[in-house]
Amino acid sequence: MNILSQATAFGGMQGVFSHTSETCKCDMTFAVFVPPQATKEPCPVLWYLSGLTCTHANVMEKGEYRRMAAELGLIIICPDTSPRGNDVPDELTNWQMGKGAGFYLDATEKPWAENYQMYSYITEELPAFVSQHFRMDMSRQGIFGHSMGGHGAMTIALKNPDRFKSCSAFAPIVEPSTADWSVPAFEKYLGSDRAAWRQYDACSLVSDGARFPEFLIDQGKADGFLENGLRPWRFEEAVKDTDIKLTLRMHERYDHSYYFISTFMDDHLRWHAERLA
């Protein structure tokens, strides 16, 4: 593990690290905040998945999570959103595809399949790697994210209910297989057979029988992507006749930015801490 930076914050440590990923076949960067409690005992782990165009740095610099994470004793891990490097395929003029837009899936189509294995990276390689280097309680894991990262968090939780004890999202893409800004990426990553897309679509996963105890979703009503990309009411409809509990909070005047995320970050951290206790 390469240490790119470390700084003390609220009695804990905020670090940025990199390693060579066998899954994505490139160097991957991630951030970890370790609370002061970790010097005495293993702490629960909360994964944060960022949205389109982002890296680990967006939430680390603008998410305002460290004070509350230190108070609650939560380790926060912030992976990158895609593979990186000069040899990694990309679409330079398309912010919804390629670098910064991995959609937390395992691509099956060329040229993307060689590197874009983000689902396996997030669920297998990175957890195994960080558990070797930090004092964390891997029996207490939660996951949350924003937009594309909210999509990733929800689908990963639905597919791994025995691993994660909590899941929440800020303005998630709940049905990417029908959303304007994700359908083209899904077709390029996964091919034209839409049946293969269902495993990376929260609404489809619920329809196909996947279950997770409960979700917390916060959504701004002034979000410019609300009507065509996010549509949280689709997930509300999907879980209506199931035993999945959904708390969907719609907020007047809030948009898609980190001003919105940072406003409700403490709520999400407390919510996860209760379920990871």
| Residues recognised as catalytic | 147, 223, 256
Contact 243, 206 (CB under 8 A): no
What residues are paired with 46 via a beta bridge?
Answer: 76, 142
**Looking at the DSSP assignment, which residues form a beta bridge with residue 167?**
143
**57-61 contacts at long range (C-beta below 8 A, 24 or more positions apart):** 57/16, 57/31, 58/258, 59/146, 59/258, 59/261, 60/14, 60/16, 60/31, 60/33
Q: What is the bridge-based pairing of β-strands 245-251 and 214-220?
A: parallel
Rounded Cα gap, residues 79 and 56, in angstroms: 5
